[in-house]
């Protein structure tokens, strides 16, 4: 791990485009916030996980009264902590205060760019912000999985999970075969309107308005992304026209009921008829 001094040198050398006059973020007339040293519109830092990066922010009070400001870091995306030498600073009139700060790249941070800012706020609630761009180094790994694939009537639902260390813009292909291999759905790969950050997942769905009324389908989704990321998930769905089935079942039930009534009536009619008894006389005749 480089020292704070060496990290500060790296930060300075990797700074954004140098300007002749340093722009300042002004919250109100009288004081402003800017990177120390002049010539930088914002901060840029680069380091591997575990690195401590150091720089200095300047608060300039050009007014006639002293100002007290509270300093904080915000919006770095992966909770990259910003630590100031002084969390609150009092700047006399017509004076500039240079406040050192450090940015610590978390040990488990994935490679990529993070954007945040240094914020100064006065007692009146007025703020000024200077942007920080942090680039986390390390090996880039593209990995993507398709999970929880299911078919719900006219929609196919699924989840995409970024298992790698790079931001992914996935592409999706959809295919479905029916009984005896008949093709029911075949959509070529297309780019999805999502950006998956490392370690995140998103739930999506595909419309299927023309799904079969009566069939069994093998559905397959294939997701790909830059860097060789690819995964395929499959599931089976059965389509049954339950309305027709319910109607047929109802007709059969009604028919069975009528038949049962008729049988009961016949049995009752037979029970009401008089019973005839045939007697066979046998014996000797003299």
Residues 131 and 167 in one domain: no
Q: Which domain holds residue 120?
A: 4-136
What's residue 280's pLDDT? Answer: 35
Instruction: Single out the residue in 215, 239, 263 at which a domain terminates.
Output: 239
Q: Is residue 109 part of a domain?
A: yes
Residues 26 and 120 in one domain: yes
Q: Is residue 189 part of a domain?
A: yes
Tell me, what CATH number does 149's domain have?
A: 2.60.40.10
What's the total number of domains in the chain? Answer: 2
What is the three-state SS of the chain? CCCHHHHHHHHHHCCCCCCCCCCCEEEECCEEEEECCCCCCCEEEEECCCCEEEEEEEEEECCCCCEEEEEEEECCCCCCCEEECCCEEEECCCEEEEEEEEEECCCCCCCEEEEEEEEEEECCCCEEEEEEEEEECCCCCCCEEEEEEEEECCEEEEEEEECCCCCECCEEEEEEECHHHCEEEEEEEEECCCCECCCCEEEEEEECCCCCCCEEEEEEEEEEECCCEEEEEEEEEEECCHHHHHHHHHHHHHHHHHHHHHHHHHHHHHHHCCCCCCCCCCCCCC
Q: Is residue 270 part of a domain?
A: no
Residues 127 and 11 in one domain: yes
What's residue 42's pLDDT? Answer: 93
What's residue 279's pLDDT? Answer: 34
Residues 30 and 121 in one domain: yes
Residues 150 and 122 in one domain: no
Q: Is residue 261 part of a domain?
A: no
Q: Is residue 266 part of a domain?
A: no
Residues 51 and 127 in one domain: yes
Q: Tell me if 3 sits within 8 A of 51, measured CB to CB.
A: no
CA distance linking residue 192 with residue 195, whole number of Å:
8
Residues 149 and 195 in one domain: yes
Per-residue pLDDT 10s for the chain (286 aa) are 333 333 332 233 222 222 234 456 655 568 999 999 878 899 998 998 889 999 999 999 999 999 999 999 876 544 567 899 989 999 999 999 999 999 988 877 778 788 888 999 999 999 999 999 888 888 888 999 999 999 998 999 999 999 988 889 999 999 999 988 899 999 999 999 999 988 899 999 999 998 898 889 999 999 999 999 999 999 999 998 755 544 544 544 545 554 554 566 566 555 555 444 333 333 333 3
Q: Locate 129 and state its tokens.
A: 């912000």
Q: Is residue 21 part of a domain?
A: yes
Residues 122 and 96 in one domain: yes
Instruction: Measure the N-to-C terminal CA separation of the chain; round to a whole number of Å.
Output: 139
Residues 213 and 103 in one domain: no
Q: Is residue 70 part of a domain?
A: yes
């Amino acid at each position: 791990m480089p020292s704070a001094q060496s990290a500060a040198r790296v930060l300075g050398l990797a700074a954004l485009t140098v300007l002749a006059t340093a722009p300042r973020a002004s919250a109100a007339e009288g004081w402003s916030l800017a990177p120390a040293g002049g010539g930088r519109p914002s901060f840029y830092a680069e380091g591997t996980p575990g690195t401590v990066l150091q720089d200095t922010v300047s608060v300039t009070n050009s007014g006639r009264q002293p100002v007290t400001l509270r300093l904080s870091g915000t919006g770095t995306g992966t909770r990259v902590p910003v630590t100031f030498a002084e969390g609150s600073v009092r700047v006399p009139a017509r004076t500039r205060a240079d406040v050192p700060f450090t940015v610590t790249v978390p040990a488990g941070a994935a490679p990529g760019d993070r954007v945040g800012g240094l914020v100064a706020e006065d007692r009146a609630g007025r703020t000024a912000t200077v942007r920080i761009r942090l680039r986390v180094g390390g090996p880039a790994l593209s990995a993507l999985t398709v999970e929880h694939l299911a078919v719900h009537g006219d929609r196919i639902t699924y989840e995409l999970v970024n298992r790698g260390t790079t931001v992914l813009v996935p592409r999706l292909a959809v295919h479905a075969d029916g009984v005896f291999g008949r093709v029911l759905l075949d959509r070529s790969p297309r780019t999805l309107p999502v950006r998956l950050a490392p370690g995140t997942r998103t739930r999506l769905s595909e419309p299927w308005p023309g799904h079969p009324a009566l069939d069994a389908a093998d559905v397959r989704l294939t997701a790909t992304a830059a860097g060789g990321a690819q995964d395929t998930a499959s599931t089976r769905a059965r389509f049954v026209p339950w309305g027709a089935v319910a109607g047929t079942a109802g007709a059969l039930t009604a028919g069975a009921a009528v038949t049962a009534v008729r049988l009961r009536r016949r049995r009752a009619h037979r029970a009401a008829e008089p019973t005839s008894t045939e007697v066979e006389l046998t014996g000797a005749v003299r």
